[in-house]
């Protein structure tokens, strides 16, 4: 990580076949699962060879890095982050953030100080956008001062306009987190191009740098709204055209868990270590709750003690700023109360239902890493060519099972769909109907029903 700027997930996913000793390279598959061949420095190669020959536990897996404590399993990105954080803290280094990402930032900054171009650094770090790489130039204040590139003048004026625009949006109850990230990229890029007022903001901020067409559409929409706001005060600001970018979102086909797979997943969660800690019960309860209620993962992680009521779970102001009551089955209530009894034994100031071993609220990335490890342990999916399930697929599975149990009759179906829409917190009924066309089993049932209907009409 320190020499090549690899992510923790890159290191955790390394396999023996990725090490090409004959030409001194290694192959890395990053976020986009795009394979990249990187040079293997002599120092790194010697350290890897020593680890493989002398320190790696004897386990039948092609993953390079294995845990040192039995049972031996491939190391996870979460373990890498925690180990890196502890090592940095032991050295007494004071940094704004600690973890594996600090090594990646340091490697990029070192290459920048040695005179490497942003394009070269972006290729090594496998960034899809040059603006992402430019972030390292912004955070290295010393380097900026040495080269006389401190952010001033037009960039500062543009950032002030961005702050004013976002303040107005927040005043009328809009969320602005994503918009600020997009517009923050616009300021230093316009500054480097010496463009203030910004006459071609869509070229600087969008410019084909997004990973997908919907992303380019969303970014361009943010820039257009800001440009209209700025144009009202200063006509020199140009409003970019919307033509040429399609905003249609491509939905992935959901993975529908079988009952046997859910049981296997929960069984693996109950075996998590440490065995006598709250961690096994936490993940067992969390995943079971997602499977039987269809909650979004963000909704489940935000639950607090006061949200558990005799009538059900109170979901407060989540997506679309909506709150709702989710009734629970008697068996779900009993299992949740059993978990709450164990959770109450932890004397914490925080009242979140689900907490980590560090006695802090569980984060999404921690849950995601653990979920992926549980999937591998449970052998899910069974088909190697099948894409790996996502946490959201537990919600998809719940919705699909609910639709499969829908009673016959047009009036019954309408009431059932409306109830399911409300239960799942969908803003529109069409979001619930989406499961009919995206779930192969449901789509097959619809086709079979149509064929039966046509045959009856002909007869």
- Identify the pLDDT of residue 33: 62
Angle at which helices 279-293 and 364-378 pack, to 10 degrees? 90
* Structure tokens, 186: 């616009």
Spell out the residues 6+ positions from residue 136 whose beta carbon is closer than 8 angstroms to its own.
105, 108, 109, 112, 121
What H or E segment, with its residue span, contains residue 36?
strand 35-39
Which sign, positive or negative, has the C-alpha torsion 3, 63, 372, 80? Answer: negative
66 forms bridges with which residues in the sheet? 74
- What is d(CA 94, CA 17) in angstroms, rounded to the nearest whole number? 37
312 forms bridges with which residues in the sheet? 309
Spell out the residues 6+ positions from residue 211 whose beta carbon is closer than 8 angstroms to its own.
32, 128
Spell out the residues 6+ positions from residue 120 whose beta carbon is closer than 8 angstroms to its own.
111
441 forms bridges with which residues in the sheet? none
What H or E segment, with its residue span, contains residue 313?
strand 312-315
- Identify the pLDDT of residue 144: 45
304 forms bridges with which residues in the sheet? 352
Q: What is the side-by-side order of every strand in the sheet holding 312-315? A: 308-309, 312-315, 324-326
| CB-based contact 41:111 (threshold 8 Å) | no
- Identify the pLDDT of residue 285: 97
> Residue 376 to residues 78, 290, 293: CA-CA distances in angstroms?
15, 19, 24
Q: Among all chains, which residue has been given the structure tokens 């191009």?
A: 193
- Identify the pLDDT of residue 89: 77
- Identify the pLDDT of residue 191: 44
DSSP per-residue codes, 166-209? HHHHHHTT---HHHHHHHHHHHHHHHHTT-SS-S-HHHHHTTT-
* HEC secondary structure over 374-416: HHHHHCCCCCCCCCCCCCHHHHHHHHHHHHHCCCCCHHHHHHH
- Identify the pLDDT of residue 243: 61
The domain 8-147 is placed in CATH, from the list 3.20.20.150, 3.30.428.10, 1.10.443.10, 1.25.40.10, at 1.10.443.10
Phi and psi torsions of 382, nearest 5°:
-70, -35
Query: Is the entire prediction scored with pTM above 0.75?
Result: no
309 forms bridges with which residues in the sheet? 312
Phi and psi torsions of 130, nearest 5°:
-70, -25
- Identify the pLDDT of residue 244: 55
Q: Among all chains, which residue has been given the structure tokens 């919907």?
A: 214
What H or E segment, with its residue span, contains residue 453?
helix 440-458
8-147 and 259-390 in the same fold: yes
What H or E segment, with its residue span, contains residue 19?
strand 19-20
- Identify the pLDDT of residue 193: 39
CA 226 to chain centre: 27
- Identify the pLDDT of residue 45: 83
| CB-based contact 301:313 (threshold 8 Å) | no
> Residue 261 to residues 123, 443, 458: CA-CA distances in angstroms?
40, 22, 42
pLDDT under 50 in the chain at which residues?
Answer: 139, 141, 144-145, 147-153, 189, 191-196, 202-204, 207-208
| CB-based contact 75:65 (threshold 8 Å) | yes
308 forms bridges with which residues in the sheet? 313
Domain ranges of the chain: 8-147, 154-233, 259-390, 397-458
- Identify the pLDDT of residue 98: 64
Q: Name the residue among 393, 400, 391, 386 with its Cα closest to residue 444.
A: 400
Phi and psi torsions of 195, nearest 5°:
-120, 90
CATH code, 259-390? 1.10.443.10
* Structure tokens, 323: 């709150």
Q: What is the side-by-side order of every strand in the sheet holding 35-39? A: 19-20, 25-29, 35-39
| CB-based contact 262:240 (threshold 8 Å) | no
- What is d(CA 262, CA 148) in angstroms, rounded to the nearest whole number? 58
């Amino acid at each position: 990580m320190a020499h090549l700027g690899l992510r923790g997930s890159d290191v955790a996913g390394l396999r023996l076949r990725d090490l090409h000793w004959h030409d001194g390279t290694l192959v890395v598959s990053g976020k986009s699962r795009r394979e990249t061949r990187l040079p293997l420095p002599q120092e790194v190669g010697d350290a890897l060879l020593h680890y493989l020959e002398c320190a790696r536990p004897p386990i039948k897996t092609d993953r390079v890095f294995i845990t040192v404590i039995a049972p031996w399993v491939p190391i996870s990105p979460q373990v890498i982050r925690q180990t890196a954080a502890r090592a940095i803290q032991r050295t007494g280094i004071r940094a704004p953030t600690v973890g594996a990402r600090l090594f990646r930032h340091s490697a990029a900054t070192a290459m920048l100080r040695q005179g490497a171009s942003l394009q070269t650094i972006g290729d090594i770090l496998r960034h899809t956008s040059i603006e992402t790489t430019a972030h390292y130039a912004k955070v290295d204040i010393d380097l900026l001062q040495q080269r006389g590139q401190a952010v001033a003048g037009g960039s500062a004026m543009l950032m002030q306009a961005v702050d004013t625009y976002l303040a107005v949006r927040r005043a009328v109850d809009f969320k602005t987190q994503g918009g600020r990230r997009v517009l923050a990229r616009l300021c230093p890029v316009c500054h480097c191009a010496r463009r203030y007022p910004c006459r071609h903001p869509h070229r600087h901020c969008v410019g084909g740098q997004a990973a997908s067409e919907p992303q380019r559409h969303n970014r361009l929409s943010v820039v257009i709204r800001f440009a209209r706001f700025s144009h009202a005060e200063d006509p020199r600001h140009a409003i970019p055209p919307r033509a040429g970018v399609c905003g249609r979102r491509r939905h992935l086909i959901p993975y529908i868990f079988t009952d046997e797979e859910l049981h296997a997943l929960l069984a693996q969660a109950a075996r998590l270590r440490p065995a006598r800690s709250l961690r096994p019960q936490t993940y067992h309860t969390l995943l079971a709750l997602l499977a039987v209620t269809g909650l979004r993962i963000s909704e489940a992680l935000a639950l607090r003690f006061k949200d558990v009521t005799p009538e059900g779970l109170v979901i407060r102001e989540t997506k679309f700023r909506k709150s709702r009551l989710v009734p629970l089955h008697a068996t779900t209530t009993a299992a949740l109360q059993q978990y709450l009894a164990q959770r109450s034994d932890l004397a914490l100031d925080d009242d979140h239902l689900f907490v980590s071993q560090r006695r802090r609220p569980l984060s999404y990335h921690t849950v995601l890493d653990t979920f992926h490890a549980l999937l591998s342990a449970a052998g899910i999916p069974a088909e190697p060519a099948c894409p790996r399930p996502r946490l959201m697929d537990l919600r998809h599975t719940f919705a699909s099972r609910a639709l499969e149990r829908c009673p016959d009759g047009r009036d019954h179906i309408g009431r059932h769909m409306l109830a399911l829409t409300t239960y799942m917190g969908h803003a529109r009924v069409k979001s619930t109907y989406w499961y009919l066309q995206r779930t192969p089993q449901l789509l097959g049932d619809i086709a079979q029903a149509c064929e039966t209907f046509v045959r009856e009409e002909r007869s």
